[in-house]
Amino acid sequence: MVAFLLLVVGGLNWLSVGLLEMDLVASIFGGMSSMLSKAVYVLVGLSAIFEVITHKSNCRTCSGDSPTPAM
């Protein structure tokens, strides 16, 4: 659940960068070079790696437990 929430934070941050040209994480946590911002960026990246590795075992469609295939 924590990894998922961090991925949402990362996705919303990229949306704000793309649309508003504003890095929300850097704005909230004191700039891109602050240790807290760097920690958030690292945690978002590690969450993405974790989700990629564990996705198949957590996904009903990918593991074959779903009665109908996703389209």
- Cα 23 from Cα 55, distance rounded (Å): 28
The confidence score (pLDDT) of residue 34 equals 87
32-64 residue pLDDT tens: 788 999 999 999 999 999 998 998 888 878 777
pTM exceeds 0.85, yes or no: no
Residue 7: name the closest of 54, 51, 61 by CA. Answer: 51
- Cα 71 from Cα 64, distance rounded (Å): 14
Domain ranges of the chain: 2-59
By percentage, how much of the chain surpasses pLDDT 90? 58
